[in-house]
Chain A
Amino acid sequence: MENLIFAIVLLPLFGFLINGLFGKSMPKNVVGGIATLVVFAAFCIATFLFINFDKTSQPIIAKAFEWFRVNGIQVNFSFQIDQLSLMMVMIITGIGSLIHLYSIGYMHHDKGFYRFFAYLNLFVFMMLLLVMGSNYIILFIGWEGVGLCSYLLIGFWFKNKEYGKAARKAFIMNRIGDLGLLMGVFMIAYHTNAFDYISVAQNASKFEVDGSIIIFICAALFIGATGKSAQVPLYTWLPDAMAGPTPVSALIHAATMVTAGVYLVVRSNFLYVLAPTVLDGILFVGLLTALVAAFYAMRQNDIKKVLAYSTVSQLGFMVIALGVGAYTAAMFHLMTHAFFKALLFLGSGSVIHAMGGEQDMRFMGGLKDKIKITHITFLIGTFAIAGMPLFSGMISKDEILVAAWAKNPIFWVVLFIISAMTATYMFRLYYLTFHGKFRGSKEQEHHLHESPLNMTLPLMILAVLSVIGGFINLPHIIGHGHYSKLQEWLSPILTESAKGQLEANLKGISVTTEYILITITVAMFFAVWLIVKNIYVNKGKLPVAEESYTGWEKLSAKKLYVDELYNALFVRTVEGLGRGGKMFDTNVLDKVVDFVGEGAEESGKSMKKLQNGNVENYVLVMSVAIGIILIVNFLLQ
C-alpha cells in the first residue's frame, strides 16, 4: 500500500526528469505520451486506492524517511492518504491527464514542446506533494513548488516581455500570501509542538475559542490562501496569468493550483472551528471577491479574461462556503468547478486554436457550425457554470446558496445576484463566440477547423463529467439524503463541531423554503438566458473596445481601476524607494569613492612636475636642503 502511495507521487517526477533531461532529442509524440501516461498511471493507482478505501477508513500514513528533528518536533517526509487527499489526488491526476492529452494537440507546433511537458509534470508532482503531504512542511514545499511551476508556465512564451511581467506579478503576489502561510505554520508548530495534521488536530483543543493565538494562526493561513486562491486583495495576478498557454490556464489556474487555498482551509478545519471570527472575515472576503470578479467578467473582451475572472468569482463561492462552515459544499464546488472550468478553458483553447491564436471576442462569432464538438461541449460547460438545473455546477452552487441562507438571508441575496451575473457573462461569452456573424478576417475564416481528436476527447469526457458530476452529492430535497455521497465521504476529515455548527444552521431551513430558493434560482437562470440571448442574438449587440465603453460598462472593462490603484500605491512606492536608493548611491556613495581616487590622481599629477629630468636641479635641491638642515641644526644648538 505504501509503495503505491509513493508511486503516485514519484511517477510525475519521473516524467519530469525524463522529459526535462532527454526531451529535446525525443520525438514529440514520445514526450507527450510519457508525460500523459505517467499522470494517467498515477490516476489509475489513485483509483485503485479509492476502491480499497471507504468512508470509514482510517488515514494511511506512508513515511518515506525522517527528514529532520528540531526542538523535539520530528518532521517526517511522509504522505497521508485520507478521504480529502484522495479526492484531491483524483481530481489532480484525472483532470491532469486529460489536459496533458489535450496539450499534445494544442502545443504541437510549439518549439518548447518538451519543456512544456516537463513543467507540466513537475507541476503535477508539486501539486501532489501539496495535497498528499502529511504535515504542513510538505504542504509548504508543494505550495512553493506549484507557485514556481505557475511562474514558469505563465512565462512560457518568455520572449514576449508582457508575459514575463505577468509571470513575475503572479510570483510576487503569491509570495505575499506565502509569507502569511509560513507565519501560520510556525505559530502552529510553536503552540502545538507538531507539524503533522493528526497531532496538530489532537493538540488543537488546548486553544481557547476565538483566542488571539488561534485567530492569528487562522488569519495567517488564510492570507496564504488569498494569495494562492486569488482572493481580494491578492487576486489581480490570476487574470494576468492567462498569458500562459491555455492548457496551463485550465490545469493550474482553474482546476487545481488555485484551489489549494480552499484545500488548506478544509484541511485545517480543526483550527478554523475554533476561530469563528476569522470565518466571518473569510466569508466577507469571499463575498467581495465573488462580487467584484463577476462584475469585471461582464465586459471583458478577451475570451480567456472572462473565464479568468469567472474563476476568481467561483473561487470566491468556495471561500464563502468555507466562511459559512460548509466545508463539504466548498469541496463539492471545487470538484464540479474543476470539471466545468477545465472544460470551458479547454474549449476556449480549441476556439483560439481554430482562430489561429485570436483571443478577442470582437473578432469571433458564428463559430457554432464550424467547430461543432467544441461548440456543444462549450455550451454544456456554460450551462453547468450558469446553473442549468441538475447540471453539476447548479447542484454544488445551490448547496453553497442554501448554506449562506442558513447563515443569514442577506448573504443568499448577494450570492443570488452574483449567480445572475455569472449566468449573464457566461451567456454573453457563449453567444458572442458561437452565434451571429463571423467578424474575423477572411484568412481566419478560411483557416477555421475543428481540433484533432486528442483535443476533443478531453472536451467530451469533461462535458460528461460537468453534466453528471453533481449527482455524487444531491441536495436533501431531491436525493432524500440517500445520495449525499460526498458529504458522507468527507465526514471523517471534518471535526464533530465543524459538522455540528452547519447542521444546526441548516435545521433552521424548512423544506418549503429550500424548494422556493431552488425555484427562484432556476427561474433566474432561464430569465437571464432569454434576456442575454435577446440582447446578443436578436438585437445583435456587439462588444466594443475597452475605451469606447461608458458608465458601469467602462468600470467593468477597466476592472474598477484596481490595477492602477495598486500601481499607484505599491509599485510606485517601491519604485520611488528604488529611485531614492539610486540617487543616494550615485550622488553620495559614488562621489566619496570618486573623491578618494581622483584626489590621489590629482596629487600625483601635480607632484610629478618636480621630476623634470634635469640632474642639476635635483642636486641643487639636495644641496640647498642639506644646507638648510645644517644651518637650522647649527642655529638650534
Chain B
Amino acid sequence: MHILTQNLRMGRGNLLGFGIGLAALSLISVLFLPSIQENGQELQGLIKSMPKGMLAAFGISEGVSLFTPEGFLQGRLFALMVPLLLIIQGVGIGSATIAGEEERGQLEMVAAHPVSRTRLFLEKLGVLVVALLFSSLLLFLSVWLGLQAVGVSLPLSHQFAAVSGSFLLGLLFGSLALALGAWNGRRAVALGLASLTAVVTYLWNALAPLNKDLAGSQKFSPFYLATGYEPLRNGFDWDYTTILLGITLLVLALGFLRFRQRDIGV
C-alpha cells in the first residue's frame, strides 16, 4: 500500500481543496432551496419561456419540476455540475497517476523497485478510488447537512443514490483515463479521449430525448444510468449501478492487460 499512501500524501492539498470546494458548492445550492420554493411560480414561467434544447443541455429535462427539492437539486447539482466536477477530478488523477508520472520519468523509478506491474496498477487505481470516495463523502455530508439546515426531508437512500451515481461517473471516466494511460503512457491522449467520451455521452443523454427516434437510446449513456434517471426522486437503482461498474471494470481490465506486458517509459 506504500505507493497508494505516498501518492495520497503527495496529493493531499489538492484532495482537500477539491473536496471542500465541491462540498461548499453543494451546500450553497441546498441552502437556496427555501427561496426557490417561495418564488416557484414566477421562476416556472421564466423557465417555460426558454428553448427546450438549451434547458436539456444543462440537464433540465421536461419531466423534471425544478421547484420540488428533488427537481431543483437534480437540475442544479446532479444533472451536470457535481458529476462534471467528479469527472474532472477522476480524469485528472487517472491520466496523471500512470501516464503523467511515466512521461515525467517518475514511474520508471518506482517500477524498478520490488513492485509487480499488477501491484503498481492496483495501487494507482486505489489512488483514484480513494480520492473520489473522499470527495463523494464530503459531498454527501454537505447535502445531508444542508437539507437538515433548511428543514427539507428527502429519503437518505435517495441522497445516497444521487451521490453514488455521481461518484460512479467520476470513477468510470477516471478509470477510462487511467486505463488509456496504462495502455500507451501518453497523458494527453488519456486526458483528451476520456474527456471527449464524457462530453459525448453527456450530450447524448441530455439531447437524445429531444429527438423522437433517438429518445430510447438515452438509456445507453452512462449519464442516464448514473444520475439521469433522477435518483433523488426514484431512489437507488441496482441494475444501473451494476452496468456502470461492469463497464468500469471492463475498461480497467483492458488497460491492465496491456500495462502488464508493455515497456515502461519509452
Check if A and B associate: no
Q: Hey, which bits of chain A sit against chain B, CB under 8 A?
A: none
